[in-house]
Structure 1
Amino acid sequence: METGKETLLCDASTSVDRPTVPKHYRRNVFNTLQKLSHPAVRATIKLSAERLCWPGMNKDVRKWARSCVSCQKCKVIGQNTCPLGSIKTPDAPFDHVRLDLAGPLPDSVGYFYHLTYVGRFTRWSEAVPIKGITAETVTCAFLER
């Protein structure tokens, strides 16, 4: 197929003619396909191969997909699975307390984090603003409440 001064090559070996993408358009074409849904490496290769081609396409697509920041943030890597166990039911309030930290948060009068805790017996919860997340700071904040 000719387009003005240039010739556009197509691969006709499949049921759908796939255009051969010139070198200077390859990254842009990949970015356009990748931004559709940020599929995994294999899915991106399949998506690309169904529509177009170029020499070394699988290698390029694999490299670019693996370097996609959005994909890396969402990718679940090697989740450990362990058998379900039983957790002893607490007998009294504050017999067992769950703690969590959140932050850094926007500055609020010098406080950048908050400590949350929930009692398993009563399910009473509290959030306490704290200035730092050292073991000493967290322990003091929890024991003072």
Structure 2
Amino acid sequence: MTESPTMVATIPFEPVRDILRTALDQLFHIEVTGMEAIPEKGGAILVCNHTDYLDAMIQGIYCSRRIHFLGKDELFRPDDQILEMLSMAPGWSHPVFSPVRLSVEALLRLYGLFHRSQLETWGGHPIKR
């Protein structure tokens, strides 16, 4: 007898994003710049400095497009089920139905990754533009 894959309910992303954005605005002074450089549709890659544990969450919440983050598998645990419920699973976690279809879909997404792929000490590196 084979096991069926675990089904995870999907939560609409936009209402959760709006609630989290309101909470972050109340707790922190967040200034977002450079949004005009992100295309409205089509593929793109965001390369960002990683100075805080909230970086990915802030980028995902304040960006008008959904970002699919790239990184080591262990960086998404134990939050992988939460990310899946919000339809924000890492880009490589989709089942392979058609390599061609997945390649085209991957090119049309907005991907985010961090410069040096590790958390830097606060103020350790200047912001690169």
Fold match (TM-score > 0.5): no
Q: Which has the larger radius of gyration?
A: 1
Q: Which has the higher strand share?
A: 1
Which of the five TM-score ranges fits, normalised by the shorter chain?
under 0.3
Q: Normalised by the size of structure 1, how large is the TM-score? A: 0.21
Q: Normalised by the size of structure 2, how large is the TM-score? A: 0.23
Greater length-normalized contact order (CA 8 Å, ≥ 6 residues apart): 2
